[in-house]
């Protein structure tokens, strides 16, 4: 969608953004597309009239609906996560499971601890799923279900519940699962039936851990189970979903709530005794044939509340680090306390925005706050988890891809959460420092496939111009951007740009370019046309299908949020185009400077008739531009827009 609106502008910068921004360092683009912008306003504002005013919900937090975008290819991760957290727990379905769970009614195959959100293509992560059963039929271990196909089970309609930091579902077996997280640890609370559901299946819960991931990409792995504590630990080597190479992940699962009866391993559909095993891919075939492999811990019936907690730490470094994180972050398996910390973290993130939403439908408020929420799911903070190089710099991962995130995700973060944005920028520069190029796509410590150019350049330019300068090494950042512009990489499929010789000599890249410096896809030489890529009205709402296509790690969420805030960034420049907010007023308090910027609509009309700006004042003085600079958000102020029902052409320019 964004690409359609902005592709004309964006393509002009794609090849050289920071270069222009820093070297040129002149006031940006003075010729403003005011009339074109104003003319799409009626479209943008249409949904205002969709619903009447209903019962008011309590708070921003209550409006977030993590399930929006969990059908029809939205691929949104709807489970429990902290803002930018590494641990992301959810029930994984057998169907369209890029985000783990989808609201498509397909069977649940496990509960896993790491996910991506809103990605296209194939599924990713979903490593080491655990799965609970309340007993083995006939009390015979071999009658428990170990393989994905065997254990797959539906859920009871109406039992899915999701809010920031929390996800719950009841399996068709009557086992209910709730989950919450800390930064590197997932905590599950399974409630087992209090009496046997089937007469021949005495209550003796079994929880297995499977050395698998969602794409089925594991090559090697190993798993162990401790027969006194029930602890299951292991590792696996997996492939990234949209990149090259492999990554290794480790986990550490502990249990609480019931006495341990016995422990063991499984291979294929057979369970038995044993302490540890090493799993290897069948090296004979090009693609690994992976035998379902894992370990299990079986319990005596849980205490009177029927609950067993499973705590799973994850680490890219080692099993020891996974166990340490779990023990330090959730020492006593306290579910309610862990959940409260997670909820409070989200409330704090949302608290920087204040709306006067009187008269605005719950539908629109849900779209708005859910968009803010989805902007802060990814990229994931893997600081301290980097197995590739030693560094004191932060490390963020799961950029899917910056092609999708530079337009509105990073600009929105720059306003709402400049600290996190700064850490991401530092992380990008550190990746350049150690790998020689900035990424466009990067996941699970692997290089991902570049999309439309080297868009990290724009993220850096945007951050530079907006002064998020907290400990950013701009000298190296500038070097990184110049490298993208000047130095062709051997494989521009995963970093940098191809065709640079022609670009430098001709100013464009011919479709039949002769390029012997490197290799990669030759699609970027074709200029993309502006399409005629829908606007907000019909496409964003509070239903499960409420976003158009993939969320792209929050790209759609941040797009709707910025549009409804009445500011749209032109990423890579210190410019926000002004449109009337969808609310009477919006205020954003910058968490770094603690200054508040307010946009106020005079003649605000929740029915969406007064959508044209007649005149404006900034801090009481007439304001003649249709754009703002970032200093508004740094220093605070009040922009007052006077609205009317018809277009007025005289402002701006
Ligand atoms: C759920 O379990 C009930 C009772 O065993 C069964 O009739 C039904 O088909 C199951 N549904 C699914 C979706 O598994
Ligand atoms: C459960 O929900 C699905 C999808 O919404 C629906 O197709 C199915 O009929 C429902 N089943 C029951 C038993 O209500
Ligand atoms: C998660 O990690 C972030 C970044 O290090 C930190 O600011 C935050 O306090 C951590 N949250 C919890 C609940 O530990
Ligand atoms: C996985 O664990 C096994 C058993 O502890 C160990 O031998 C192996 O080196 C580990 N693999 C990796 C890649 O860390
Ligand atoms: C645990 O395993 C050890 C040997 O590996 C064995 O000696 C011990 O009896 C086992 N304990 C239980 C409770 O099964
Ligand atoms: C919600 O949005 C989706 C796609 O973004 C659209 O297909 C659907 O018709 C919309 N639903 C409503 C009730 O507006
Ligand atoms: C950023 O800082 C520079 C130097 O301190 C200043 O000139 C510029 O106005 C600032 N920009 C913003 C958007 O505040």
> How many angstroms is it from 180 CA to the middle of ligand 1?
27
User: Rounded to whole angstroms, how far apart are CA atoms 460 and 479?
Assistant: 11
Higher pLDDT, 504 or 43: 504
Q: What is the Å distance from ligand 7's center to 401 Cα?
A: 29
pLDDT of residue 49: 37
- CA distances 470 to 346, 462, 503, 559, 593, Å, are 23, 14, 34, 26, 12
Residue to mutate (ligand 3; options 82, 182, 348; most atoms within 8 A of CB): 82
Among the bound ligands, name the one nearest to the CA of residue 417: 3
What's the confidence (pLDDT) of residue 261? Answer: 97
Mean of the pLDDT values across residues 571-586? 92
Any idea which fold 379-529 has? Glutathione S-transferase Yfyf (Class Pi); Chain A, domain 2 (1.20.1050)
CA distance readout (Å), 162 to 90, 95, 343, 424, 609: 10, 19, 12, 27, 35
CATH for 575-644 is: 3.30.2080.10
For ligand 2, the distance from its centroid to the CA atom of residue 508, given in whole angstroms, is: 55
| Closest-CA residue to 552 (of 245, 121, 162, 165) | 121
CB 602 within 8 Å of CB 640: yes
Give residue 289's pLDDT.
55
Banded pLDDT at 648 (limits 50, 70, 90): confident
Share of the chain above pLDDT 90, in %: 63
Half-sphere CA count of 391, side-chain side, radius 13 A: 21
Q: Which residues of 471-496 are buried (b: 16+ CB within 10 A; e: fewer)?
A: ebeeeebbebbbbbbeebbeebbbbb
Q: What is the pTM of this model?
A: 0.87
Residue 197 pLDDT: 86
Residue 455's pLDDT band (cuts 50, 70, 90): confident
**Which 3 state secondary structure label does DSSP give 89?**
strand
The answer to whether residues 187 and 80 touch, using CB atoms and an 8 Å cutoff, is no
Kindly list the protein residues whose Cβ atom lies closer than 6 A to any atom of ligand 3. 82, 182-183, 341, 345, 381
Mutate to test the pocket of ligand 6, among 73, 535, 536, 545 (most ligand atoms within 8 A of CB): 545
Position 523 confidence tier, pLDDT thresholds 50, 70, 90: low
CB 189 within 8 A of CB 205: no
For residue 566, is pLDDT > 50?
A: yes
| Tens-digit pLDDT profile for residues 345-389 | 999 999 999 999 999 999 999 999 999 999 999 999 999 999 999
Q: What angle do CA 131, 136, 139 make, to 5 degrees?
A: 155
CA–CA gap between residue 354 and residue 596 (Å, rounded): 10
- Ligand 6 atom closest to 72 (CA): 4
Please state the separation of Cα 339 from the chain's center in Å.
Answer: 19
**The pLDDT of residue 650:** 54
> What are the contacts of 434-439 at 24+ separation with CB within 8 A?
434/388, 434/389, 434/391, 435/495, 436/483, 436/489, 436/495, 437/480, 437/483, 437/484, 437/489, 437/495, 437/496, 438/480, 438/481, 438/483, 438/484, 438/495, 439/399, 439/402, 439/495
Supply the pLDDT for residue 640: 97
Cα of 122 vs centre of ligand 6, distance in Å, is 24
Residue 50 clears pLDDT 80, i.e. is over it: no
H or E element that contains 424: helix 418-435
Nearest protein CA to atom 4 of ligand 2, as residue: 105
Ligand 6 center to 74 CA (angstroms) = 12
Nearest CA to ligand 4 atom 4: 222
What's the mean pLDDT when you consider all of the chain? Answer: 85
So what's the pLDDT on residue 57?
A: 58
Q: Which atom of ligand 1 is nearest to the CA of 153?
A: 14
C-alpha span between 432 and 587 (Å, rounded)? 36
Q: What is the pLDDT of residues 247-260, one digit of tens each?
A: 999 999 999 999 99
- Name the more confident of 34 and 423: 423
Give residues (CB < 6 A) around ligand 6: 539, 541, 543, 545-548
Cα 107 to ligand 2 centre (Å): 13
CB count within 10 Å of CB 514 equals 8
35 pLDDT band, cuts 50/70/90, is very low
What value does the mean pLDDT take over residues 31-52? Answer: 38
Q: Which of 467, 627, 629 to mutate to test the pocket of ligand 7 (most atoms within 8 A of CB)?
A: 467
Q: What is the pLDDT of residue 3?
A: 31
Mean pLDDT across the stretch 68-89?
Answer: 94
Q: For residue range 541-557, what is the model confidence (pLDDT) as tens digits?
A: 788 877 777 777 787 88
* Mean pLDDT value of segment 481-488: 84
Residue nearest to atom 13 of ligand 2 (CA): 157
Of 280 and 87, the structure prediction assigns the larger pLDDT to: 87
CA-to-CA distance for 438 and 460, rounded, in angstroms? 10
Question: What's the gap in Å between 222 CA and the centre of ligand 4?
Answer: 6
- SS3 state of residue 61: helix
Q: Which residue has the least CA distance to atom 11 on ligand 1?
A: 154
State pLDDT tens for residues 146-191: 999 999 999 999 999 999 999 999 999 999 999 999 999 999 999 9
Q: Where are the domains of the chain?
A: 10-59, 379-529, 575-644
Residue 303, pLDDT score? 85
**Rounded-to-integer distance, Cα 365 and Cα 357, Å:** 8
Is residue 631 within 8 Å of 576, Cβ to Cβ?
no
581: helix, coil or strand? Answer: coil
> Any residues with Cβ below 6 Å from ligand 2, and which?
105, 157
User: Of 642 and 242, which is predicted with more confidence?
Assistant: 642
Average pLDDT for 489-505: 76
Q: At what angle do helices 418-435 and 474-486 cross, to 10 degrees?
A: 60
Residues linked to residue 238 through DSSP beta bridges, in sequence order: 247
Reported confidence tier of residue 487, pLDDT bands at 50, 70, 90: confident
d(Cα 266, Cα 142) in Å, to the nearest integer?
10
For a pocket test of ligand 5, which of 224, 226, 227 has the largest count of ligand atoms closer than 8 A to its C-beta?
227
Least confident of 15-19, 308-312, 588-592: 15-19
What pLDDT is stored for residue 611 in this prediction? 87
Q: Which ligand is nearest the CA of 172, by number?
A: 1
Question: What percentage of the chain's residues is helix, strand, coil (to nearest 5)?
Answer: 25, 25, 50
248 CA distance to ligand 4 middle (Å)? 9
Confidence at residue 316, expressed as pLDDT on a 0 to 100 scale: 98
What is the structure's pLDDT at 467?
Answer: 81
Whole-number Å distance between alpha carbons of 47 and 537: 5
Q: With H, G, I as helix, E, B as strand and everything else as coil, classify residue 261.
A: strand
How far is residue 133's CA from residue 296's CA, in Å, rounded to a whole number? 11
pLDDT greater at residue 485 or residue 314: 314
Ligand 6: centre distance to CA 68 (Å): 11
- When pLDDT is averaged across residues 57-72 and rounded to a whole number, the result is 90
**For the CA of 237, the nearest atom of ligand 4:** 13
- The pLDDT of residue 641 is 96
What is the predicted pLDDT for the residue at 284? 52
């Amino acid at each position: 969608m964004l690409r359609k609106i902005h592709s004309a502008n964006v393509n002009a910068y794609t090849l050289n953004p920071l270069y222009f921004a820093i070297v040129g360092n002149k006031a940006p683009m003075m010729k403003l597309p005011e009339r074109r912008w104003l003319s799409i306003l009626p479209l943008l504002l249409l949904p205002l009239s969709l619903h009447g005013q209903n019962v008011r919900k309590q708070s921003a937090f209550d409006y977030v609906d993590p399930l929006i975008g969990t059908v029809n290819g939205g691929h949104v991760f709807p489970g429990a996560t902290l803002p930018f957290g590494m641990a992301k727990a959810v029930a994984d379905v057998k169907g369209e499971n890029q985000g783990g769970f989808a609201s498509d009614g397909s069977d649940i195959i496990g509960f896993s601890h790491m996910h991506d959100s809103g990605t296209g293509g194939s599924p990713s992560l979903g490593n080491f799923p655990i799965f609970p059963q309340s007993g083995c039929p006939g009390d015979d271990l071999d009658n428990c279900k170990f393989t994905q196909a065997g254990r797959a089970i539906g859920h009871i309609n109406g039992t899915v519940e999701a809010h920031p930091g929390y996800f719950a579902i009841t399996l068709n077996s009557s086992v209910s699962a709730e989950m919450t997280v800390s930064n590197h640890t997932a905590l599950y609370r399974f409630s087992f039936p209090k009496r046997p559901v089937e007469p021949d299946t005495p209550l003796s819960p079994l929880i297995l851990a499977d050395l698998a991931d969602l794409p089925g990409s594991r090559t090697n792995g190993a798993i162990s189970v401790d027969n006194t504590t029930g602890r299951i630990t292991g590792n696996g080597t997996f492939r990234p979903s949209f990149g090259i190479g492999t990554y290794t992940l480790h986990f550490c699962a502990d249990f609480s709530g019931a006495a341990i009866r016995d422990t063991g391993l499984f291979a294929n559909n057979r369970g038995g005794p044993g302490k540890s095993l090493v799993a290897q891919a069948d090296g004979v075939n090009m693609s690994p044939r992976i035998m379902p492999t894992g370990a299990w811990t079986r319990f005596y019936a849980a205490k009177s509340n029927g609950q067993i907690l499973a705590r799973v730490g994850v680490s890219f470094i080692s099993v020891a680090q996974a166990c340490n994180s779990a023990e330090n972050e959730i020492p006593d398996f306290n579910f309610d306390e862990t959940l409260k910390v997670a909820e409070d973290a989200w409330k704090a993130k949302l608290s920087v925005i204040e709306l006067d939403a009187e008269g605005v439908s719950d539908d629109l408020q849900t779209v708005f706050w859910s968009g803010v929420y989805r902007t802060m799911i990814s990229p994931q903070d893997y600081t301290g988890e980097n197995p590739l190089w030693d560094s004191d710099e932060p490390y963020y991962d799961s950029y899917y891809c910056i092609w999708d995130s530079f337009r509105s995700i990073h600009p929105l973060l720059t306003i709402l959460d400049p600290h996190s944005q700064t850490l991401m920028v530092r992380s990008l520069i550190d990746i350049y420092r150690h790998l020689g190029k900035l990424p466009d796509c990067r996941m699970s410590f692997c290089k991902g496939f570049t999309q439309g150019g080297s868009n990290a350049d724009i993220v850096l330019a945007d951050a530079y111009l907006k002064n998020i300068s907290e400990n950013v090494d701009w000298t190296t950042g500038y070097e990184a951007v110049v490298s993208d512009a000047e130095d062709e990489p051997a494989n521009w499929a995963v970093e940098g740009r191809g065709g640079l010789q022609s670009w430098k000599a001709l100013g464009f890249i011919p479709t039949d370019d002769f390029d012997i410096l490197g290799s990669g896809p030759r699609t970027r030489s074709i200029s993309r046309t502006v399409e005629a890529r829908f606007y907000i009205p019909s496409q964003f709402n509070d239903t499960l299908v409420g976003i158009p296509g993939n969320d792209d790690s929050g790209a759609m969420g941040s797009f709707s949020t910025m549009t409804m805030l009445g500011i749209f960034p032109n990423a890579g420049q210190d410019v926000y185009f002004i449109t009337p907010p969808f609310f009477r007023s919006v205020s954003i308090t910058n968490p770094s400077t603690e200054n508040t910027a307010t946009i106020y609509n005079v003649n605000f009309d929740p029915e969406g008739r007064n959508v044209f700006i007649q005149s404006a004042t900034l801090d009481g003085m007439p304001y003649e531009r249709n754009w703002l600079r970032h200093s508004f958000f740094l220093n605070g102020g009040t922009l007052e827009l006077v609205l009317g029902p018809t277009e007025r052409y005289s402002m701006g320019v």
